[in-house]
């Protein structure tokens, strides 16, 4: 196996153009497992750990650009106020060791519908910026990044450079259900983001379809009830039944299968519960933080 070690992004992109067969490696927490279990035998790897451009966290206006090589630990330390939901998701990944090595770029690169950061990234409308040495940069909505399990929209000469994370404009939540509490691949996961400026709700559903899904009908239901009941202005308690209905609509938006981790029926049920809870928790948090400012 050839081992390529670029020290800049332009060098990395040139290597990827010359060796489209080469597999990038960042934290290695997915790739090394595949190699160890003989599921992957790359002819070459491109080690991205010496590419400084991938390690940046940059605040630009209403967005934070998070480098593909930024590990979860840094996300948790540096983005709590701008991306609280992403931090929640990061905290659920693996163990402290995995969070110190594993990255956002790697979570995207693996293109698994069970990737824990992805539902939240979909809920907030994040995009992945990718680049090739020939065609330059382009942005792919995270919603469209996975095209089927383990296959992404990335071309063979492209690398993920960074992720555009819109700064939080309201409370966010992330939850996952697994066979145990930690170090577990999710059976179902759910991300929720309120956008109080746009008076909208975003959702993302993981491990319950071939790709990360959203739940447009559930989002529209909440937005409509909140408008009709004047909740955006009053921040009054959630009317009876809203969270339950939201949960049902999220469950209906999923497209799960039966597999070794859980049945499709269980996944839908778990998602309904996760979604209803997330809505209640997020709204209660908003009510708590605005308590002193309400008439
Ligand atoms: C014990 C253990 C527990 C885990 N628990 C969780 C969990 O709870 N939740 C979860 O979501 N994941 C979990 N994972 C999986 C893994 O840690 C994450 O998916 C992590 O984000 C991968 O990041 P990485 O930098 O280590 O990726 P790597 O292994 O380096 O790469 C993963 C894939 O992405 C590609 N890639 C990496 N960077 C780029 C780039 N810049 N451009 C293009 N392609 C790129 C690689 O080629 C490879 O295909 C776990 C893994 C282990 C070993």
Q: What is the pLDDT of residues 273-282, one digit of tens each?
A: 999 999 999 9
pTM above 0.85, yes or no: yes
Separation between Cα atoms, residue 154 and residue 110, nearest integer Å: 11
Over the stretch 36-62, which tens digit does the pLDDT of each residue have?
999 999 999 999 999 999 999 999 999
Integer distance in angstroms from the first to the last C-alpha of the chain?
Answer: 67
- Pocket test of ligand 1: the residue of 94, 128, 174, 178 to mutate, having most ligand atoms within 8 Å of its CB, is 94
Helices (H) and strands (E) in the chain, counts: 11, 13
CA atoms of 116 and 88, how far apart (whole Å): 10
93 Cβ inside 6 Å of ligand 1: yes
Q: Which residues pair with 80 in a beta bridge?
A: none
Region 238-243: mean pLDDT is 96
Q: How many CB atoms neighbour CB 8 within 10 A?
A: 12
Confidence class for position 290, pLDDT limits 50, 70, 90? confident
Could you tell me the two tokens for 111?
């293109």
Taking the CA of residue 93 as reference, the ligand 1 atom at the shortest distance is 8
**Top-level class of domain 172-289:** alpha beta
Beta bridge partners of 148: 151
For residue 295, what pLDDT band results from cuts at 50, 70 and 90?
low
In three-state secondary structure terms, 48 is coil
Which of 134, 106, 128, 129 is closest to 17 using CA atoms? 134
Q: Please state the atom number of ligand 1 nearest to the C-alpha of residue 184.
A: 8
Could you list the beta-strand ranges (E) of 134-270.
136-141, 146-148, 151-152, 159-166, 172-177, 188-195, 200-206
- At 52, phi and psi to the nearest 5? -65, -30
Is it the case that residue 176 has pLDDT exceeding 60?
yes
**Residue 180 in this model has a pLDDT that exceeds 90:** no
Assess whether the C-beta atom of 45 lies below 6 angstroms from ligand 1.
no
Q: Are strands 63-67 and 44-47 parallel, antiparallel or unpaired?
A: unpaired
Q: Locate the DSSP E strands across 87-221.
A: 127-132, 136-141, 146-148, 151-152, 159-166, 172-177, 188-195, 200-206
Expressed in angstroms and rounded, the spacing between residue 55 Cα and the centre of ligand 1 is 15
In DSSP terms, which residues pair with 78 in a beta bridge? none
Q: Which three-class secondary structure state does DSSP give residue 290?
A: coil
- Ligand 1 within 6 A of 48 CB? yes
Domain residue ranges of the chain, discontinuous segments joined by +: 172-289
231 touches 267 (CB < 8 A): no
Nearest to 121 by CA among 196, 205, 222, 61: 205
- Provide the pLDDT for residue 184: 81
Report whether residue 99 contacts ligand 1, using a CB cutoff of 6 Å. no
CB contact set of 122 (below 8 Å; sequence gap of 6+): 142, 143, 191, 202, 203, 204, 212, 213, 214
């Amino acid at each position: 196996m050839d081992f390529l070690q670029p020290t800049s992004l332009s060098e990395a992109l040139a290597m990827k153009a010359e060796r489209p067969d080469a597999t990038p490696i960042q934290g290695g927490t997915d790739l090394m497992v595949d190699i160890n279990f003989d599921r992957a035998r790359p002819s070459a790897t491109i080690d991205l750990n010496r590419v400084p451009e991938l390690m940046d966290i940059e605040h630009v206006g209403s967005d934070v650009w998070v480098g593909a090589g930024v590990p979860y630990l840094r996300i948790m330390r540096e983005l709590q106020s701008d991306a609280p939901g992403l931090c929640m998701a990061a905290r659920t990944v693996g163990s402290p060791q995995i969070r110190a090595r594993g990255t956002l770029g790697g979570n995207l690169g693996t293109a698994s519908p069970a990737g824990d950061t992805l539902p939240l990234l979909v809920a907030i409308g994040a995009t992945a910026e990718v680049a090739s040495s020939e065609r330059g940069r382009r942005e792919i909505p995270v919603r469209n990044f996975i095209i089927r399990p383990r296959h992404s929209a990335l071309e063979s000469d492209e690398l993920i450079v960074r992720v555009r994370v819109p700064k939080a404009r309201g409370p966010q939540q992330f939850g996952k259900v697994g066979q145990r509490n930690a170090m577990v691949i999710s059976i179902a996961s759910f991300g929720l983001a309120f956008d109080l400026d746009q008076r909208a709700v975003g959702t993302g559903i993981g491990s319950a379809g071939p790709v990360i899904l959203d739940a447009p009908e559930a989002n529209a239901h909440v937005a409509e009830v909140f408008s009709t009941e004047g909740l955006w202005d009053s921040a009054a308690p959630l009317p009876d039944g809203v969270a339950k209905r939201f949960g049902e609509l999220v469950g209906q938006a999923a497209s799960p299968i039966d597999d070794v981790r859980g049945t499709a029926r269980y996944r839908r049920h778990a998602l309904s519960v996760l979604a209803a809870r997330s809505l209640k928790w997020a709204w209660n948090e908003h009510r708590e933080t605005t308590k002193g400012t309400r008439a």
